[in-house]
Amino acid sequence: MKQERAYPKCTVTDKAARSLAAGHPWVYDTEVLRCEGAENGAIVDVVSAKGRYLGSGFVSYHSKIRVRVFSQNANDVFDAAFWRRRLQYAWDYRKTVLRPEDLACCRVIFGEADHFPGLTVDRFGPLLSVQVLSVGLERIKGLLLPLLADVLQADGQQIDGVFERNDVAIRGLEGLPQYKGWFALPGRSAPGSALADIVENGVRYTVDVENGQKTGFFLDQKYNRAAVARLAAGKRVLDCFTHTGSFALNAAKGGAEKVTAVDVSESAVAMARHNAAINGVAGRMECLAADVFELLPALAPHSYDFIILDPPAFTKSRKTLHSALRGYKEINYRAMKLLPRGGYLATCSCSHFAAEAEFTKMLRAAARDAGVQLRQIEARQQSPDHPILWGVPETNYLKFYLFQVV
């Protein structure tokens, strides 16, 4: 017998109704007319002022995003079977769009793009690294995470443990505490180590799921790294903001003559050295702890003929966009001045707020000031396990360009 729907109602403005109809899943606090007694984090049915059903989502009384809508089917009942179907759908999508060898290290759940608002799940071999950034998902993670492990294991994937990386300040916007640690999967004990060995593009990495940045490793650039490797043979490569050496390692494995991997973090550089050693390229890959903004002006022109710029997000809000674009322009200008004519530049931004039009305008200005022209080889985005959901611009964040400087 089918379960009856019995969810509290949240009545919203016409503006919110138009936004939901256009595909954006967020209802802001200023767009809510009234909510009928729903607990914080509970599922509510969102309705128009005239009572028309618009969708169902998680309500949050601490956040400016008051409701995160995840379904617009009035017949859906949000039981365990519903969530298992949705998890299966996300995994089937990855199996379709990724190479089979990439399924062992990929993003399994990408928040709103997979209709799991505020949930990120990355797979690193037998470990799942999880961030829960919304109170609604926090309430049901005890159901979701064992279901996800079951879905993967039913497909023959080995899952030994789930590690929560909820040590991020953004959880405070939802009234949630920060912490990290093993999630207890029913009937099994936690693994003894949060280190995972993975292979991406034929490159081996040791990923520190507990202490690495965000979930432990950046998976969104996997195919962009392969594009860099194709150009690297015989070149002197400078990889700026290397983190644990991913672009540098792809360049070295691609046959670069020499690679210098630079990051301001001593611990990241130490892991990059380790990764260089386990890939047998330590003799051609120097790992340097330095501030890129200080290093680039100090280098002699033409020291390198391929420069990679993969900085962290310089802005996480529109308020700081102008200063962020100044930072992007500075490093790109310096790189263009350093390169010889015919040299190569890979440059990117992982900030949603630095939109493509603004980023390319900055690149044009940097090239003009450096007195060079850019011959575009490729324009790329994030890998498809980080899908872009049209109607949700926040999911479209990574800009990646390969140029020859002429």
pLDDT in tens, 217-250: 999 999 999 999 999 999 999 999 999 999 999 9
User: pLDDT (tens digit, 9 = 90+) per residue, 4-51?
Assistant: 678 999 999 999 999 999 999 999 999 999 998 899 999 999 999 999
Helix (H, G, I), strand (E, B) or coil at 226: helix
CATH number of the 80-194 domain: 3.30.750.80
Query: Contact at 8 Å (CB) between 140 and 83?
Result: yes
Catalytic entry in 105, 106, 240, 350: 350
CATH number of the 220-405 domain: 3.40.50.150
Q: Where in the chain are the domains?
A: 9-71, 80-194, 220-405
Do 80-194 and 220-405 share a fold?
A: no
Q: For 111-138, b where at least 16 C-beta lie within 10 A, e where not — what string? A: bbbbbbbbbbbbbbbebbbbbbbbbbbb
Strand-pair category, 285-289 with 258-263: parallel
Res 355: pLDDT: 87
CATH 2.30.130.10 fits 9-71, yes or no: yes
CA distance 111 to 109: 6
Single-letter amino acid, residue 31? E
401 forms bridges with which residues in the sheet? 347, 379
**DSSP, residue by residue, 361-401:** HHHHHHHHHHT--EEEEEEE---TTS---TT-GGG---EEE
Res 315: pLDDT: 67
Average pLDDT on 117-131 reads 97
Identify whether 287 is a catalytic site residue: no
Give helix 222-231 / helix 246-253 axis angle, nearest 10°. 40
